[in-house]
Structure 1
Amino acid sequence: MNESIDNRLTSPRSLDHILDEDVDGLLDAPEKPRKVTSSDRLERAFLEVIEFRRVHGRVPSSETREIAERKLGARLDGILANDQKVEALTYLDDFNLLESREPPESLDDLLEGGDLDELLGDDGGVLDVSDLPVLRKPESPDSVAKRVRAEDFEQFEHLFKAKHAELAAGTVQLVAFTGLDLIKEGVFFVLGGVMCFVAEVGEDVDLVVGGKQKQKQRLRVVFENGTESRMYKQSLMTRMYEQQGQVLARTGVDASEIFDAAEESGHIYVLQSLSEDPAISGLKDLYKIGFSTTSVEQRIRNAERSSTYLMAPVRVVADYRLYNVKASTLEHLLHRVFADVRLDLTQIDSKGQGYDPSEWFIAPRDVVNRAVAMIVSGEIVDYVYDPTRQQLIPRM
């Protein structure tokens, strides 16, 4: 045998040389899968409980004969009995399932409360606890935010129309939701494909969660489908993350500047006179359309002593909050649209002087509401008001 060949076959090769020749990766060490931690398992277990509540509209029961639900109910009972678990999962608590209950006053109370699942360490809820009494009382209507019909939706409809018009024009864009700090009054979001608007942010409320004081804020969130929810601020955040929600912001700005486009401009209000004067009370669909930078309630205080309000008390029938709109200009447009039905009546004030009301018009309320929406969206330029038909009709 050739000596050079024999040397190649018998001499040891270096480790680097062997690794270089391993083109198929046979010597590669397999990657170790990421270790699932106890926190991961706990979060996944609780998210299954959350999903049950979202799908079925109720808390899973640990007494039911349905094995799958019974396991979820027992799992929730075990979580509730452990303050550390409650604290770790609070940020995921979309339905306030972890709100604390009154602690037991005696051992008998504890045993009657059904906390054996936690005492036995059954984190997975695999024990059959169907014979134990229910640990938690049914949730009160105030503890879970459900969507209900927004009774005053007409006061928000124009805002949604305006935002859709701005999206179409490109002056507003959708950006990713980045955190709790974006949830403020006047901001628009898209959640589950539906646009919604944060109409109100309540005061901080102190709640006891897992034996500790927590502060939460109730929101009033109005949806463009005519419903609203009184969910907590943290609950909206959770849903935005879960459903990859988006925020409406001015085109060309980042999330940190989003609130530049969310300042309240003022109020367009619609009032109805409570005057007992037959010349006033006998007029159907008589409304005052005005503008205010302060609250409407403050503006109409002492209305019975002001000629502006026909020297009589008034009732607020609509209060349109406006954002990023010059409300005084909108008010002027409304007056121009309804100029042909302006109240033509001379009144005498408390000093015996005559005056002609300038902001009172005779038109159906639903037409006034539609006009506000069309002015904000820009559509009004193509329409005029027809007093005979009492409708907004296309301009010829």
Structure 2
Amino acid sequence: MTTMNDDELLAALGVEVTPVKVVKRTPREERIIAGFEDIIRFYETHGHAPRKGYDLDIFERLYSVRLEQIRKLPEAHTLLADIDSHGLLTASNDIPADINAMDADALLAELGIADAEASQNDMTVLRHVRSSAEKRAAEEIAHREKCEDFELFEDLFERVERELKSGSRQTRPFGNNVSIEVGHWFVLSGQMAYVAEEGEDFDSPQGKKDARLRVIFSNGTQSNMLRLSLVRALYKDETSRRITSTDMGPLFGDAAEEDDIKSGTIYVLRSQSSHPFVTEHRELIHKIGVTGGKVETRIANAAKDATYLLADVEIVATYTLHNINRTKLENIFHRVFAAAQLDLTIEDRFGNPVKPHEWFLVPLYVIDEAVERIRDGSIAEVAYSAETARLEPVA
């Protein structure tokens, strides 16, 4: 029996073979399709088209702008008709005037779809592939989760908003030599961002000091991002800002005036003690003090001093003072945090029982709020509640 190939078999059965037509897309068309597919995936995940809004996720806002821009492209409706099963191209949305004023190439450039003509034929360019740095930056911004204890931070965010409106705080561009520490405020991707916690320092692959941060955002989300990642995100966002601290004159000014008297520094320490209770609650146990000299000098012999729990300590926050009575300020902290004072007795080097003072079971962000209230004069109105872990109005 003669063996027939597939084509001969199909011909014998009377089946007409039609060559499959291969559609060749230009790089521009491929990138439009890829951009629209992202929007389709968003719609299928969330059940609605991407929207614009101050409190929405940055990628939803980007997809919203992308959709508006694609709708304006003359060839988009024909090119995308077969995959637009949700009618996203025909939905009626208001399109901003600046979008209407842009031609197709300008829209594509804004969208990141268009390639320069010179690079379209460059075989070394990987289409639709972002660099690892771009991926990492996007993931760092996008990977946020719901902040389960956001109610503890709401008062802080509201206070900072009021201070921005009143002018006691201001926004400045994020630039060189701007530090990122616990208690600092920024604007990133249209959201206020508060650095609430910081982990242990370590050396990054680039040889720089880095640490894991807990960053709280004004839309009720949080991110456990690296400090260097936050720096990259702030640099990458052209609209990012740092929010200055309040300036109440000689008490806590960012810089001392000529007639100010430098009185010292509020310092917040965290113990490295191996005591079981301290080990279990290390992130909550803080020593709050005031010194007229250098904090580093004050804590130089901490491991030999029962005041510092006979262990080395880490400086986690400092605030410079001008023209202030240090003793009275320490008394203010003792009153405000009296309910959370650490009740711990240890033995000194000679075996004598010692009960250290100035140690409190208080989250660092609450201490930061207390300093803010000292700045604006409202500290007398509140005291720390161990039950709610926040500053509550004094009855």
TM-score by length of 1: 0.41
Structure with more contact order per residue of length (Cα contacts < 8 Å, sep ≥ 6): 1
CA radius of gyration, larger in: 1
TM-score w.r.t. length of structure 2: 0.41
